[in-house]
Amino acid sequence: MTIETILQAALVVASVGLAAFCLMLARRLRRLNDLETGLGGAIAIMAAEVDRLEKAIRSAREEATEASEGLAAEISQARKERALWELRQRIGAAAQTEPAANLPRRLRKRKEVSGV
C-alpha cells in the first residue's frame, strides 16, 4: 500500500463522514423551519403579531390625534365664550355703577320724574 492509496481512502472516509453530517444538518434545518412545530412557525406567528400591533398603534395614534384636535377646538370655543361672558359682566357692572351726575340735566330730570 502506498501513501497515495492511504490518502485516497482517508479522503473517501472523510467525504462519507461529511455527507452524513450534511444529511443530519439538512434534517435538523427542515425540522427547524417546519411552520407548525418549529422555529418557522414561531417566526410566522410573531410576524403576524407585529403586523397586528402596528395596526393597533396606527389606529390609536389616529384616535389620539382626532381627540386632541377636538379638545383644541373645545378649548378655543370655551375661551371665546369666557371672553364674551367677561365682556357682558363688565357692561353690566358699568351700567349699574354709572352715577346720575354724569347724565345731562334734562335726562336727570326725566329720570327723576319717571322714577327710574
Whole-number Å distance between alpha carbons of 93 and 102: 16
Domain residues for the domain of 77 are: 51-96
pLDDT tier at 38, thresholds 50, 70, 90: confident
- Chain length of the chain: 116
Residue 53 has pLDDT above 70, yes or no: yes
User: Quick check: helix, strand or coil at residue 49?
Assistant: helix
DSSP at 36: T
Residue 47 has pLDDT above 60, yes or no: yes
Q: Which residues of 90-116 are buried (b: 16+ CB within 10 A; e: fewer)?
A: eeeeeeeeeeeeeeeeeeeeeeeeeee
4: in domain? no
Burial class (CB in 10 A: 0-12, 13-18, 19+), 73: exposed
Query: Domain total for the chain?
Result: 1
Cell numbers for 115: 322714577
91: in domain? yes
CB neighbour list of residue 38: distance below 8 Å, 6 or more residues apart:
31, 32
In 1-116, beta strands by DSSP E? none
How confident is the prediction for the chain on average, in pLDDT? 86
Q: Under a CB-based contact definition with an 8 Å cutoff, are residues 32 and 39 in contact?
A: yes
Over the stretch 66-111, which tens digit does the pLDDT of each residue have?
999 999 999 999 999 999 999 999 998 888 876 555 556 665 555 5
Whole-model pTM: value is: 0.47
